[in-house]
C-alpha cells in the first residue's frame, strides 16, 4: 500500500479517537513537505479545526503524537509549523516501498482489461505528394507517445493513420511527372519514392509560378492568373478525371502512390512508429459524400443555387461551412466525416483523438459539431490534440518551395552526429564491434531527436536545434540514456563480483536524505503517467525522467554503491539503482525512446 494511503487511514482513525469525528478522505490533505522543513509528507491541519475546536498548532500536536504512538513503524517523528504537521516517514516504510517498486516491472501503469475503454488515436496524416518532413516527425512522435501514455493509463488503444492520397495537390505531382519526368522511377533515379514524387511537386510549383508571372506581365490580374495558368487548369482537369475513374489517370495514381508508400514505410520504421489501421481518403471521401447527402435529406445541411452543399453553424457561433463543391467534389471536412463513419463501423470507439497541428483548430471545432449532428456518439467529445509548429533558426518550412527539413535527412544527421559525439565514450567500451557501435549511435541519435521534440509541451511552437539536442549534458535524451547505461554497468559489476541482493531487503537500516528523496521521486512516476494521460501531454513523462536522473546523479556523486562497506546499505543502494533504471526504461519507453545497456 502506498505510504500516503496508509497515513490517510491512520489520520482518520486518530480523528475519530481524538475528537469522535468520522471524516472523508478529501478532508485529510497530504502534500510533499517543502524542502526547507524537516519531513517528507505534510498534513494540512486547517480543514480539521471545526472538529478539534483547537488552535492549528494544538490540533497538529494532537494528531502528530497520536501517529507516533500508534504507528511508530510508519511515522518516526513529527514537527509542527503553524497549521502544518510535517511527518518524517520511517526508513522501514521507504525500504518496503522501494522493494514493491523494484519487484513490479510495470510499476506506474494501469493494466488493460476487456472492459477498458477503447481510444482511437489518429496521427501522421501524410500527403502522397511529398516525403515526410520535420513537422511530420513531431506529429508522429507525439502520436506514438500519446498512444503509449493512454495505454499505460488503462485504455485499449488503436493507432490509425489517414493518408491524403487524393486531391489537387496529388494531381500536381502526377502532372509534373508526366510533363517533365521522362519515365523516371525510384529504381532508375536511386531515390526513395516519396522523395522522387516530392521533387515533382516542387517542379510543378516552379513552372506554375513562371506561368503566373508571364500572365501578369501580359496585363492579367494576379488572382485571375493563378486560376488561368495552363498548368493549374490541367491539374484541375486531371482531378475531375480521377473522380470519374479515368483508367489512365487512376493507373498512374496507383503507380506513383505505391512508390510513396514504400518510402513512407522506411521512414516510419526509422522513427519507430507504426499503425494498427491505415485509412485512405480515396476510400473515405465517397463515404463522406454519402453522409453529407444523408444530412441534406434530414435538413441538417442545405444546397445553394450553384449546387454546392453547406452546413449553417451560425447558431453555434461559427460560420457557414462548405461540404461539397458545386462540381460535386468533396473537401477535407467531407473526407473526415467519411473516415469517421468507417472508423465507427470498424471499432467500438469510446474516445477519438486527432493529433493535428494547431492551424486546424477551427476545422476540428466544426468537425465535432457536424459529427454530433450526424449521430456519432463520440463526436461532441472528440479530442483535437492540437500541437504547435516546429520552427527552424532561419524561419518556417515551405513544402512547395522545397525548403523543408526532410525527415530522412534529419534522422541520418542525428545518427551521424551521435556517432561523432559518442566516439570517445563508445571506443572506451571493451570488445565493442563496429555493428554494436553503430547500433548505439542509432539509439542515441534517435533518442536525442525524440526527447528534444517530446520534452516541449505539445501546445507550444518549438525551435528545433539538432546540435543542442545531441548534448550529453543537460535536459537531453543522451544525458538520460547515459545515466541508464551507467546504472546498468554498476549492476553488471555487482553481479560479476558475486553480490546477490536478497529477495527481501533489510528494513533495519537508516536511509539518508538523498536515498529517501530518490524513493519518493520513484513513487511519483505513477502520478506523472496519470497526469500525462489526463492532460494529453507526453512532456510530463520527459520532464519526470530528467528530474529522476538528476536526483540519481546527485545521489551517486555523494554516496558509493559498490564500495559501500555496510552490506545492508550496499544491498539497498543496488536495489535503488535497479529500480531507477527500470523506471527510466519504462518512462523513456512511453516516449518511444530506447535506452542502451552500454554507452
- The answer to whether position 539 is within a domain reads yes
pLDDT at 331: 87
CATH number, domain at 536? 1.10.730.10
**Domain that includes residue 58, residue range:** 3-89
pLDDT at 25: 86
Q: Which residues of the chain fall below pLDDT 50?
A: 397, 399-402
- The answer to whether position 149 is within a domain reads no
Number of domains into which the chain is organized: 2
Q: Which residues of 115-141 are buried (b: 16+ CB within 10 A; e: fewer)?
A: ebeebbbbbbbbbbbbbbbbbbbbbbb
Q: Which has the closest alpha carbon to 556: 542, 569, 573?
A: 573
- Please count the CA atoms within 13 angstroms of the CA of 105 that sit on its side-chain side: 0
Phi, psi of 245 (to 5 degrees): 65, 35
DSSP state at residue 153: B
pLDDT at 92: 94
- The answer to whether position 577 is within a domain reads yes
Region class of 24: left (phi > 0), else alpha (psi between -120 and 50), else beta:
beta
CATH number, domain at 55? 3.30.1360.70
pTM: 0.91
Output the nine-digit C-alpha cell for 274.
507504426
Which residue, 57, 89, 121, sits at the end of a domain? Answer: 89
In degrees, rounded to 5, the angle at the alpha carbon of residue 191 between the alpha carbons of residues 239 and 235 is 15
- The answer to whether position 374 is within a domain reads no
Which residue, 89, 111, 134, sits at the end of a domain? Answer: 89
CA–CA gap between residue 139 and residue 552 (Å, rounded): 32
- The answer to whether position 559 is within a domain reads yes
Output the nine-digit C-alpha cell for 291.
453522409
pLDDT at 214: 95
pLDDT at 397: 45
- The answer to whether position 233 is within a domain reads no
Which residue, 69, 89, 109, sits at the end of a domain? Answer: 89
- Is-contact 478 444, C-beta < 8 A? yes
- The answer to whether position 245 is within a domain reads no
Q: In what order do the strands lie in the sheet with 41-44?
A: 29-32, 41-44, 84-89, 75-81
- The answer to whether position 502 is within a domain reads yes
pLDDT at 2: 78
Amino acid at each position: 500500500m502506498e505510504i500516503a494511503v496508509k497515513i490517510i487511514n491512520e489520520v482518520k482513525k486518530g480523528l475519530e479517537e481524538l475528537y469522535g469525528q468520522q471524516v472523508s478522505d478529501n478532508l485529510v490533505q497530504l502534500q510533499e513537505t517543502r524542502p526547507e522543513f524537516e519531513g517528507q509528507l505534510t498534513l494540512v491541519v486547517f480543514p480539521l479545526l471545526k472538529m478539534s475546536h483547537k488552535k492549528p498548532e494544538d490540533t497538529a500536536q494532537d494528531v502528530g503524537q497520536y501517529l507516533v504512538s500508534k504507528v511508530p513503524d510508519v511515522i518516526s517523528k513529527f514537527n509542527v509549523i503553524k497549521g502544518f504537521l510535517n511527518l518524517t516517514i520511517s526508513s522501514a516504510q521507504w525500504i518496503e516501498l522501494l522493494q514493491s517498486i523494484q519487484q513490479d516491472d510495470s510499476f506506474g501503469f494501469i493494466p488493460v482489461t476487456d472492459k477498458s475503454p477503447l481510444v482511437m488515436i489518429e496521427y501522421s496524416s501524410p500527403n502522397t505528394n511529398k516525403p515526410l518532413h520535420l513537422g511530420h516527425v513531431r506529429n508522429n512522435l507525439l502520436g506514438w507517445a500519446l498512444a503509449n501514455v493512454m495505454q499505460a493509463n488503462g485504455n485499449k488503444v488503436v493507432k490509425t493513420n489517414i493518408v491524403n492520397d487524393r486531391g489537387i495537390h496529388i494531381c500536381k505531382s502526377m502532372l509534373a511527372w508526366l510533363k517533365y519526368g521522362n519515365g523516371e522511377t525510384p529504381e532508375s533515379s536511386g531515390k526513395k519514392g516519396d522523395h522522387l514524387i516530392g521533387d515533382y511537386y516542387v517542379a510543378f510549383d516552379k513552372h506554375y509560378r513562371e506561368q503566373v508571372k508571364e500572365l501578369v506581365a501580359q496585363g492579367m490580374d494576379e488572382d485571375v492568373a493563378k486560376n488561368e495558368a495552363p498548368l493549374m487548369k490541367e491539374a484541375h482537369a486531371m482531378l475531375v478525371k480521377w473522380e470519374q475513374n479515368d483508367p489512365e489517370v487512376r493507373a498512374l495514381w496507383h503507380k506513383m502512390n505505391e512508390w510513396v508508400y514504400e518510402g513512407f514505410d522506411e521512414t516510419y520504421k526509422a522513427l519507430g512508429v507504426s499503425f494498427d489501421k491505415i485509412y485512405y481518403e480515396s476510400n473515405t471521401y465517397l463515404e463522406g459524400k454519402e453522409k453529407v447527402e444523408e444530412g441534406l435529406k434530414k435538413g441538417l445541411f442545405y444546397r445553394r443555387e450553384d449546387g454546392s452543399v453547406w452546413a449553417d453553424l451560425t447558431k453555434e457561433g461559427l460560420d457557414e461551412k462548405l461540404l461539397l463543391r458545386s462540381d460535386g467534389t468533396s473537401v477535407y471536412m467531407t473526407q473526415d466525416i467519411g473516415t469517421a463513419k468507417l472508423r465507427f463501423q470498424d471499432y467500438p470507439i469510446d474516445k477519438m483523438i486527432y493529433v493535428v497541428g494547431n492551424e486546424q483548430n477551427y476545422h476540428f471545432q466544426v468537425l465535432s459539431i457536424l459529427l454530433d449532428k450526424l449521430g456519432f456518439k463520440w463526436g461532441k467529445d472528440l479530442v483535437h490534440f492540437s500541437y504547435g509548429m516546429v520552427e527552424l533558426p532561419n524561419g518556417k518550412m515551405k513544402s512547395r518551395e522545397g525548403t523543408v527539413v526532410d525527415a530522412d535527412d534529419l534522422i541520418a544527421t542525428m545518427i551521424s552526429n551521435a556517432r561523432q559525439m559518442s566516439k570517445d565514450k563508445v571506443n572506451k567500451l571493451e570488445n565493442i564491434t563496429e555493428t554494436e557501435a553503430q547500433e548505439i549511435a542509432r539509439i542515441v541519435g534517435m533518442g536525442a531527436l525524440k526527447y528534444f521534440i517530446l520534452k516541449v509541451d505539445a501546445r507550444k511552437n518549438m525551435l528545433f536545434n539538432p546540435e543542442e539536442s545531441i548534448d550529453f549534458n543537460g535536459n537531453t535524451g543522451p544525458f538520460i540514456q547515459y545515466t541508464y547505461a551507467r546504472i546498468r554497468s554498476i549492476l553488471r559489476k555487482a553481479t560479476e563480483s558475486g553480490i546477490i541482493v536478497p529477495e527481501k531487503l533489510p528494513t533495519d537500516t537508516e536511509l539518508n536524505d538523498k536515498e529517501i528523496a530518490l524513493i519518493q521521486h520513484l513513487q511519483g512516476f505513477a502520478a506523472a503517467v496519470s497526469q500525462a494521460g489526463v492532460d494529453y501531454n507526453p512532456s510530463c513523462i520527459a520532464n519526470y525522467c530528467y528530474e529522476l536522473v538528476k536526483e540519481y546523479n546527485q545521489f551517486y556523486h555523494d554516496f558509493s554503491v559498490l564500495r559501500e562497506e555496510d552490506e545492508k546499505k550496499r544491498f539497498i543502494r543496488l536495489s535503488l539503482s535497479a529500480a531507477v533504471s527500470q523506471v527510466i526504461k519504462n518512462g523513456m519507453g512511453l516516449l518511444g525512446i530506447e535506452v542502451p545497456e552500454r554507452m
